[in-house]
Structures are given as structure tokens and as C-alpha cells.
Amino acid sequence: MTTGVPEIVEGLASLRTFELLAAIDRASAALRGRTLTPGDREAIGKALAARVRHSSYDVLQALANALAHAPYSVARKALDALARRGNAVVRESVERARSLHRARSHIDMLDGPEGDFLQRWIREINGSEEVREKAFLAASRHTEYLVNKADHELRRLVNRISFELGVLRESVGDASEFRPQVDLLLSFVAPVERTLNDFREFTKVVQPRFAPVELRRPIETAIALVQPAAKLRVDVDADLMVMADEALVVIALRNVIQNAVNAMTDTASPQLRIAATQDRDGWVEITVADNGRGMPDPGAPIRPFSKGPESKGSGLGLSNVQRIVEQQHHGHLRFTPRATRGTTAHLHFPPNPYEEIHAHDSDRRGR
């Protein structure tokens, strides 16, 4: 083997994610060069292909990018496996790798200046793609840093205001004419803290970890977190399963249930019904129905910070639900008005979130 190749192959077997990512980066750089023998390229390609069952989407994306430069005889099956296991970002990298392999197969048929020109052109495209990916990663990390910094500073300020108002409340006493004004100011603190929590949750980048989940468990957890003051009915089979990230499902259901509870504040006898069913194609539908004031336009697009005139929330809860259901689980979210009073939220989860199967189900589900 060429000098350095054994170290790359050994690094690709590492069990530590950060070491593996570094090794994949070295392997990609080596494959893009011209110093490797065909045997070296095949050895590195096989070592990359051996890691396609890794659980990290960051690793899977890096593998797809590196396999774009490996021998196609080695990369083909590995790219197919990554397309099945990965999320939307990984699948996009897989398609780009396949496109590059198809381009090379045509370029290899050309001899002379035309072939050399196209080879240089492909290398320049690869370089620009890598620059864009690195720029996007740097921008994401910078944005995350700014969000965390702003969140920290705002929380520190809110805590200081809350503390000072608490001290002022104690000093003025119950009989003071200023006590109602102080209590009013203190009542503004909790909504600000909720908005900060919702914003932090909305901007947090989480790679979902899919596993079979007993659906009653996240539903019961979400109910316990909200503790709705309403007549509650839950219709979910004990053995109903969904392929999902349980923690994210809890967040989505908590936000939907809280939204329903907020809509029933002026309802004389609030009622909440949560149900779940599974159709013949394996899709799971969770419905949350309330008898509250209803949504002005249930079919309107969900936008961050958009909320009704009577809402006391941050306007981020349903946006976060939409992101979890549609972007992270490749499902569907919609709201429909009830025949009498209130709104029903419909959360659809696919049988396999790794596969995008929106198209053939869209007509059947009324989209």
C-alpha cells in the first residue's frame, strides 16, 4: 500500500465518532488525489463502505461525500445502503455522489483534450461543493453560537429583573398602593421565559434517532407535562407502534396539547380527545381534538411567531410541531375545524421515516 493508506484504513475502523469523521476527511482527500494505486483506492473504498451502518447522520453524510470519489464497483452498494438509512441531507449527498460517478463513466470514454478538460471541470465542481458544504457548516455553527449567546444574555437579564421585582415586592408590602403595579410587572416575566424556551427549542438542531416506539408512552408523557384542565379521553391501542424519535414526538404532542388547552380557556366544559390509528399502509395518525374557540383559518400556512389575537404563547409552538412531523419524520401535519366547536390536529407519521413517500399518499390524505 501507498504510504499513509494503512493509517487511513485503520482510522476508518475507529469507534469514536470524531476520529472516524477525521479519517473520512483524510480518505476523501486521498481519493481525490492522483497518487493512489487502484488497489489503494479499492481498499479505502471498502473501508468506507464498511461504516454505512453508523448511527450518526453526520458520519453518513461524510461517507456519501467520500464515496463519490471511490471506485464505483465498491461505492454502488454502499451508496444504496446510505440512501435507505439516511435522512434528507444524507440522501442529497448520495444523489450528488451518484451523479459524479455517472459523469465519470462518460468522461472515461473520452480520450485526448476533451477528456482532460472534463476531468478538470469535475474536479472544480467537487471543490466548489466542498467549499459550499464547509461554508454552510461554519454558518450553522456560528448561528448556533449566536443563538446560545443571545439566549444566555437574555435569561440573565430576565432573572435579574425577576429578582429585583421580587425584592421590590417584599419591600413595598401587601398594603402598599404600588403592590398591584409590581405584581403586574412580575406577571410579565413568565411569558418572556416561555418565549425564550420556545425559541431555544425551535432553533435547536437535532438529528432524530428513529426506533420503534409504543405510542401510548409519548402520549402519556406529553399529557403529564401539560396536565390539561379538561375532560380527557385517550383512545390508543396498547400495542400500537410508530417508528419515530420518542423525545421529539413528546415535544410535538406537548405543544399541540398545550395549544388545545389554550384554546379552551373560555369554554364552559373543556373536552380533549386524543386518539391514534394505523392504516393498511402502515401510516400512523394521531389526532388531538378540542372544543375550544377554534382556529381562524385551520388550513393557513404555519409561520414562526404567527399567533391569534387572544393567544398568550410565543407563536413558535406549532412551527416546532411542523418541523418535527414534516421535516424530521417526513410526515404530515394539518388542522381541521370540528363540526360543532373546536379544532382537530392531525399528525401523520410514515411507517419508515427514512423513505419519502409523500406523493402516493397525498391524494388519499386530502392534500
248 shares a domain with 190: no
What's the pLDDT at 357?
39
User: Is 272 inside any structural domain?
Assistant: yes
Answer whether residue 284 shows pLDDT above 90.
yes
Q: From its phi and psi, is residue 94 left (phi > 0), alpha (psi between -120 and 50) or beta?
A: alpha
266 burial type by CB count under 10 A (0-12 exposed, 13-18 middle, 19+ buried) = exposed
Mean pLDDT of the chain: 80
344 shares a domain with 215: yes
344 shares a domain with 259: yes
346 shares a domain with 224: yes
Domain boundary among 203, 226, 243: 203
Per residue in 182-226, pLDDT (tens digit) is 888 888 777 777 777 766 666 665 667 888 889 999 999 999 989
Pairing of strands 284-290, 343-349: antiparallel
Per residue in 83-127, pLDDT (tens digit) is 888 888 888 888 888 877 776 665 555 555 555 655 565 555 555
User: Is 341 inside any structural domain?
Assistant: yes
The residue-averaged pLDDT of 325-346 equals 89
Domain boundary among 203, 233, 264: 203
Of 306, 327, 328, which is closest to residue 317 (Cα–Cα)? Answer: 306
Tell me the pTM: 0.50
186 shares a domain with 67: no
Per residue in 268-282, pLDDT (tens digit) is 899 999 999 998 888
88 shares a domain with 16: yes
193 shares a domain with 104: no
CA-based max dimension of the chain = 95
Per residue in 310-329, pLDDT (tens digit) is 555 566 778 889 888 988 88
Per residue in 34-82, pLDDT (tens digit) is 788 889 999 999 999 999 999 888 889 899 989 988 998 899 999 999 9
CATH at 96: 1.25.40
User: Is 336 inside any structural domain?
Assistant: yes
Alpha-carbon dihedral sign for residues 11, 15, 21, 22: negative
User: Is 295 inside any structural domain?
Assistant: yes
Reported as a pLDDT band with limits 50, 70 and 90, residue 359 is very low
**For the chain, how many residues are written?**
367
User: Is 68 inside any structural domain?
Assistant: yes
What's the pLDDT at 361?
40
CA-CA distance, 310 to 302, in Å (whole number)? Answer: 17
Cell for 171? 419591600
170 shares a domain with 70: no
∠219-313-150 over CA atoms, to 5°? 105
CATH at 237: 3.30.565.10
218 shares a domain with 326: yes
Answer whether residue 365 shows pLDDT above 50.
no
Q: State the total domains in the chain.
A: 3
The residue range of the domain holding 248 is: 211-362
User: Is 126 inside any structural domain?
Assistant: no
294 shares a domain with 232: yes
275 shares a domain with 357: yes
Domain boundary among 166, 183, 203: 203
User: Is 197 inside any structural domain?
Assistant: yes
Cell for 187? 406577571
User: Is 141 inside any structural domain?
Assistant: no
User: Within a 10 A sphere around the Cβ of 40, how many other Cβ atoms?
Assistant: 19
253 shares a domain with 163: no
